[in-house]
Amino acid sequence: MLPSVVDVLVVLQALAVPTIVLLFYLDGMIVGKLTPPAALYVAYVALTSPTDAALAVIAAVCVVASTLGQFTIYRGFNEESPEFIGVRRTVPYVDRIPSLVKRRIGNRRVALVTRLFDRFGGVGICVTNTVPGIRSLMAIPAGLSAYPSGRFLAFSTAGNVVYLVMVTAIARGLIELAAFVPGA
């Protein structure tokens, strides 16, 4: 017997938030740019209209996931970062992530974000985290230059907060727009 449409929708809704959070982490690591998590986040918020409290929790978890993804890249490019649990030694191919990321984003974008980082430092990390397309890329020059990890995390988190506020505003705007559409 096939599941009903309602059953399928319930399962999809239950999996939506963990999937979006995972995609924000991968987006922070730069390897998850295939499916932009912001688009799925906007669709989820616009279609499900979660309560303000639930939306705040979801947005906060997405900020943390994105920041942790960026911190993963930062640490991968920072030769001076300590090895806390031995991931580089025990997980196969994890040491290849920095070269995979460099190859995936290309030399032009790496050169652009390196210039921006050299000129603006932490403020550049914060601002570029709000710009789709180059989000997360500042983790590379920050890691290469051994930028202080606490400052990196602070600026990265601040930029991710602004980004999620903007994305949430877009989603809420779509909800408001749908209320004005006749027949919706």
**pLDDT string in tens for the chain (184-residue length):** 777 777 767 777 788 899 999 999 988 887 666 678 998 999 889 888 889 999 999 999 999 999 999 998 888 777 777 665 555 555 556 566 666 666 777 778 778 878 888 999 999 999 989 988 778 888 888 888 889 999 999 999 999 999 999 999 998 887 777 667 665 5
pTM exceeds 0.95 for this model? no
Question: Do the Cβ atoms of 75 and 152 come closer than 8 Å?
Answer: no
The domain of 89 spans: 5-180
Q: Report how far residue 171's alpha carbon sits from residue 165's, in angstroms, rounded to the nearest whole number.
A: 10
| Count of domains observed in the chain | 1
SS3 130: coil
